[in-house]
Amino acid sequence: MRPSLLAPLFVLAACATDRAATSTAPAGAATPATPAQAATKNAEFAPANAMPWSYWPEEWNGQLLVLEVLPHGSAVREGDVLARFDLRPLDDEIRKADMELKSAQVRHAALVERQQIEEEAAQSSLAVARAGLERTKRTLTAWKEQDLAFARRDDEIDRRRELSYIEDQKDELGQLEEMYKRDELVDGTEDLVLKRQKRGLALTEDSVGLSRDRAKKRFDLDQTLELEQREESARTQAEAVERQRRTQDIERRGRVDAQLRSGEELADREARMARLRRDREALACKAPRAGVFLHGATRDWRVGRTPVRIERGSSLGARNEIGCVADPAPRELRADLQGTDLAQWKDGAKVLAKTSTGAKLPGVLKVDPWPRGDGVFEAIVVLDAPVESIPVGARADVELAP
């Protein structure tokens, strides 16, 4: 057979074979589809085991002016200084707080000592008042139990003396009358003497009666009034002592409250000083571990975000992550998924990360089940092994493993 006829014969044989194969296929069977190439996602290498450094002040909220900072990607050891800030405003605040604390300590010590003196003076004054009250009570008791008895005894003696004086005058009058009966004196003399003696006796009786009336009035009214006055004075003095005690209790409570408030103010200033010093120590900005120092927040290491590079003269705010220390070799990538991607890009799926060098790195997909505010789901590709030759921030295409 000639060579020019071989090609058409091979074509006819192949067509006959295809028709035979088609005729032997079961009826209704679908023709299998060729697998389509999986869609790819842009991803970015993120820091591995990153430990961020951020300043969360307890007291001072001033701006942080960067004086020095290690370059991005610097290798550091634990405790190395990552950056230095202008801390003069904070040092001024610490100095002012220290002065205020010392003043508060002096005021509190003076208040405590002054209140101690006031308390001692109050106790001494109250003791003197109570001692005076006790003397008054003893004097009143002695006056009622002894002075009144002495007065009655003295009055009784006066009464007996007066009665004796009257009796003596009566005896003298009787003697005169006896003498006159014996005519020892002339009649004129007798009349004069008897008249004088009787008049003296009458005056003495009237005087004794007046004295008795005065004594009765003194014991019935004067002594009663004096007793009431003494008892009222003692009662008034006792009430004054009680008022003084209550007033001192009120003043003591006021002193205790003032001392407590002064102590609280001192404690507040001490706590503020301690917080400022802790803020000062926190701003030492030391590496929390050994690794690579990377600028910017760890959350910014993903597609569409650019971590902020820190330079000398930069002004940073508090409570912001300025950088992190991570492993030298990254092991994960971050990508964003839309809601329509979740049907194909599932949590736990095997994926391949294709770098710019053409290497395909196997890994596992981790999908956050909760979307961000923009409806995007964050995904992390955890590589099977870290990659030392690729820097953090490098881009890669991620595709589902076949």
CA 194 to chain centre: 106
pLDDT digits (tens, 9 = 90+) for 318-377: 888 889 999 999 999 999 999 889 989 999 999 999 998 888 999 999 999 999 888 899
Written as six digits, the tokens of 78 are 């634990």
Which of these three, 277, 302, 335, is where a domain ends? 277
- Give SS3 for 130: helix
- Give SS3 for 117: helix
Q: Are 330 and 351 in a shared domain?
A: yes
Q: Are 121 and 49 in a shared domain?
A: no
Query: What is the per-residue pLDDT for 167?
Result: 85
CATH number at residue 338: 2.40.30.170
Which of these three, 250, 277, 304, is where a domain ends? 277
Q: Are 79 and 154 in a shared domain?
A: no
Q: Are 184 and 226 in a shared domain?
A: yes
Written as six digits, the tokens of 279 are 């803020």
pLDDT digits (tens, 9 = 90+) for 47-88: 989 999 988 999 998 888 999 999 999 999 999 999 999 999
Written as six digits, the tokens of 374 are 């923009």
How many CA atoms within 13 Å lie on the side-chain side of 303? 18
pTM of the model: 0.62
CA distance 126 to 132: 10
Q: Which helix (H) or strand (E) holds 333?
A: strand 332-337
86 burial level (CB within 10 Å; 0-12, 13-18, 19+): middle
CA distance 122 to 55: 53
29 assigned to some structural domain: no
Which of these three, 243, 258, 277, is where a domain ends? 277
Instruction: List, in order, residues 6 or more apart from 75 with CB less than 8 Å away.
Output: 291, 292, 293, 328
CA distance 326 to 392: 10
Written as six digits, the tokens of 354 are 């294709």
Q: Are 46 and 145 in a shared domain?
A: no
Q: Are 49 and 110 in a shared domain?
A: no
Q: Are 135 and 237 in a shared domain?
A: yes
Q: Give the chain's domain count.
A: 2
Q: Are 135 and 253 in a shared domain?
A: yes
> Domain range for residue 202?
92-277
Residues facing residue 324 across a β-bridge: 52, 294
